[in-house]
Structure 1
Amino acid sequence: MPRIRSILSLLLVAAAIFCVSCGGPKASVPTTYSPEKIEQLQLLAEPIETAKESLDVLKGFIADKNWIDTRTYIHGPLGGLRQEMSSLTRSLLPKDQKEARNLSKALFSDFERLDAAAKERNSVAAQRQYGEAVQHLQSFLDLLPSS
């Protein structure tokens, strides 16, 4: 009899654990942006939009073949862009995060190739990489919902 009680109490514990682990509401992933979320994303996007506007400075350095300032600008004022873009990407809906990550990686690959072109003093490659960087940054910003 004591053995049956032990087995019975073990079965009751197992059943209770099973019921508790299977119960409860499931968290749902939102499929659209709320107005509050859009406002938050717009605040997170401000430094990125400012960086996009300041890319004209970089374009001037490349046009003037000022390679030292080109490399300094990539690592200096544009250096914090990766962190800003990562923060914004994490705030997007899951369906948009993958494309945002891919565009971010492409942008920073462009910056790396632009830095290499500036190091080699290759004006043609630097201008091409600058154009691709602008395009990738604009595509990233186009992912953001508008109000």
Structure 2
Amino acid sequence: MADSDATEEQPFATVADLEKRWYGRTFTGTDKEDHVKVLLEDASDLIRQYPGHKRCTTATLRRICCAVARRTLENEESDLNSNVTNMSETVGPVSQSYTFGNSGADMRLWPSEEKELGVGRQQAWSYDPFEGAKP
């Protein structure tokens, strides 16, 4: 179990933050509020798995957290047809094929969000072979 302080247990965003970013949606005071809180906590935990999150601003962490939670909620609320990313039909002799995007409603970060968290970012460093590693 990793050492953490109380601030690391707090989600990066609140239900109100998500509502501000998702015009027309209200979760506060509804039966979904607790579910949204859990999704924000899960999204924050996912973000914390990237070591680069410590270099990001609070606003960036809040924005990514809300985006991940929103995508998860949209996926949960979508019907089967709106989750289709590729569809192929043939009329004679009848064939259909569908490809579904994230049908399991997994929480995922987009590549652009991972880049903001430092994934794939190059770092310069040097090593002096005569002095060796320093503690």
Task: Provide TM-score, normalisation by structure 2.
Answer: 0.29
State the structure with bigger RCO (CA 8 A, min sep 6), 1 or 2: 1
Higher share of residues assigned strand: 2
State which structure, 1 or 2, has the greater radius of gyration over its C-alpha atoms. 1
**TM-score, normalised by the number of residues in structure 1:** 0.27
**Larger helix share, 1 or 2:** 1
